[in-house]
Structure 1
Amino acid sequence: MSTRVLHVVTNVGHYDDPAHPTGLWLSELTHAWQVFEDHGFSQDLVSPAGGRSPLEPRSLKLPNCDRSTRAWQASSERTALLEHTASPEEIDPVRYDAIFFTGGHAVMYDFPDSEGLQRITREIFERGGIVSSVCHGYCGLLNTRLSDGSHLLAGRRMTGFSWREEELAKVAELVPYNAEEEARRRGALYEKARLPFVSHTVTDGTLVTGQNPGSAKATARRVAALL
């Protein structure tokens, strides 16, 4: 059987105020997808509700878009994948060796309280599989508990989009909570790069996390190396 990776994407298209759109930060998916594809891994997409995953408009503009995002948008086969993602109920965790939570501010709304995603993550992690996230993807790990009731993040080194980066991105007043602070509250040993927006990844056993959009390739490469 080939190695299988499950990517998690959002279903949310705006902040609390519908006048401010958001969604999946496309390069965080495309960069990781390319790394895993180069390794010959099989890949699937899941979202909290299943169905369409809207794109963050800012991720489609320079300098955030690149060859990989343009190629994805130009492919009817690839764009269809984001129109028809699986729901957690359709996913059998036993089939996957790793789960990769993508980001975009939208995930702050629908990732944390998805019991389906928590189930999948817990089962993969407790089987010795890889749990990984990039940027805001770690919001999908905030409320995930292991079978003993402990938070998956408790006592583990990790990273993700920092509060300073929220401020510099000028969205601190739009986001529903401070994800960095919430991770620390759950006992995570949160780390970040000395400078904002530079690539930074942290590996703690089978937990692999990347800080920001520019960390997607490095995070996926670490996952691939472990696999």
Structure 2
Amino acid sequence: MDPIYKALIVCTNHTDYPTKPHKTGLWLSEATHFYDELADRNLPYDIASPAGGVVPIDEKSLDRRDNTNEKWYNNPAFRHKLEHSLRLNEVLPSDYQILYFAGGHGAMWDFPENVMLQAITRQIYENGGIVAAVCHGVSGLLNVALSDGSSLIDNRQITGFSNMEEKLVRLDDEVPFLLEDALKQKNTLYSKSMIPFIPYIEVDERLVTGQNTLSARKVGRKVMEEMYEK
């Protein structure tokens, strides 16, 4: 019998850009494509967010024809978890062996400085769990310190949304900082695909990161591989 693992998917609550009229939030496929890989093994999961409650969906991520989005966004259980996400203080880290930070630009505002999120990450990682993140969700790893005071991502192979991709979506002047620059400043071994917007992941022991939206499924697949095939 395979062991039963449980996953915690963390999503943003932040919706506003400084000057753009449209709203940000979770980029839906970054949650659904990742979870689709876990669903194959019927993995139990919870969805949490910094403030709890409704996870806002980036409007632009809803207007794309995406069968996986439609499958899960219209799934009553998944939708309920998105609309009634756990607050971080309701999360018991010892319950989870997988932690996943979904992206969407909103994450750049409410992930990096969240001390409770950093504590949950540290505990799951130090308990032997896998920590994964995709696109702007990787910002949640920037300030995670381990119990010995060292940075989780120091000298680690990592990726995340690139400066070039941010410029191409014309949001480089809206975000509070550029993720690629911030990761490099943290002494990570940052890398990215040669071509923007293609699936790209980095794996460094129990740390799995994906560069952009299209990497979410690949991250999920790699997490499953690491959990079950090692």
Q: Give the 3-state SS of the residue equivalent to 1:181 in structure 2.
A: helix
Whether 2:38 is the aligned partner of 1:33: answer no
Q: What is the letter of the counterpart of residue 163 of structure 1?
A: N
Q: Give the 3-state SS of the residue equivalent to 2:83 in structure 1.
A: coil
Alignment: residue pair count: 225
Whether 2:155 is the aligned partner of 1:146: answer no
| Deviation sequence 1:145-173 (CA, Å, 0-9, x none) | 11111111111000011010001111111
**Runs of 4+ with >6 A deviation:** none
Contact 2:12 2:50 in 1 (8 A): yes
Whether 2:126 is the aligned partner of 1:100: answer no
Whether 2:6 is the aligned partner of 1:4: answer yes
Once residues 3 and 34 of structure 1 are traced to their aligned partners in structure 2, the CA distance between those partners, rounded to angstroms, is 15
Q: What is the letter of the counterpart of residue 38 of structure 2?
A: F
Once residues 8 and 74 of structure 2 are traced to their aligned partners in structure 1, the CA distance between those partners, rounded to angstroms, is 23
Residue 117 of structure 1 is matched in structure 2 by 117
Once residues 115 and 185 of structure 1 are traced to their aligned partners in structure 2, the CA distance between those partners, rounded to angstroms, is 20
Residue 223 of structure 1 is matched in structure 2 by 223
How far did residue 99 of structure 1 move? 0.2
Once residues 199 and 75 of structure 1 are traced to their aligned partners in structure 2, the CA distance between those partners, rounded to angstroms, is 26
Please, which runs of 5 or more residues in structure 2 have no aligned partner? none
Residue 185 of structure 1 is matched in structure 2 by 185
Please, which runs of 5 or more residues in structure 1 have no aligned partner? none
Residue 85 of structure 1 is matched in structure 2 by 85
Once residues 18 and 172 of structure 1 are traced to their aligned partners in structure 2, the CA distance between those partners, rounded to angstroms, is 12
Once residues 33 and 113 of structure 2 are traced to their aligned partners in structure 1, the CA distance between those partners, rounded to angstroms, is 26
Q: What is the letter of the counterpart of residue 29 of structure 2?
A: S
Once residues 4 and 54 of structure 1 are traced to their aligned partners in structure 2, the CA distance between those partners, rounded to angstroms, is 23
How far did residue 20 of structure 1 move? 3.4
How far did residue 51 of structure 1 move? 1.0
Once residues 154 and 142 of structure 1 are traced to their aligned partners in structure 2, the CA distance between those partners, rounded to angstroms, is 9
Query: Quick check: 67-76 or 106-115, which moved more?
Result: 67-76
How far did residue 138 of structure 1 move? 0.6
Once residues 73 and 125 of structure 1 are traced to their aligned partners in structure 2, the CA distance between those partners, rounded to angstroms, is 29
Once residues 70 and 37 of structure 1 are traced to their aligned partners in structure 2, the CA distance between those partners, rounded to angstroms, is 15
1:19-98 → structure 2 map (5 Å cutoff): 19-62=21-64, 65-98=65-98
Contact 2:7 2:44 in 1 (8 A): yes
Q: Over aligned residue pairs, what C-alpha RMSD do you find?
A: 1.2
Identity %: 41
Once residues 98 and 29 of structure 2 are traced to their aligned partners in structure 1, the CA distance between those partners, rounded to angstroms, is 19
| Deviation sequence 1:81-102 (CA, Å, 0-9, x none) | 1111001111111111110000
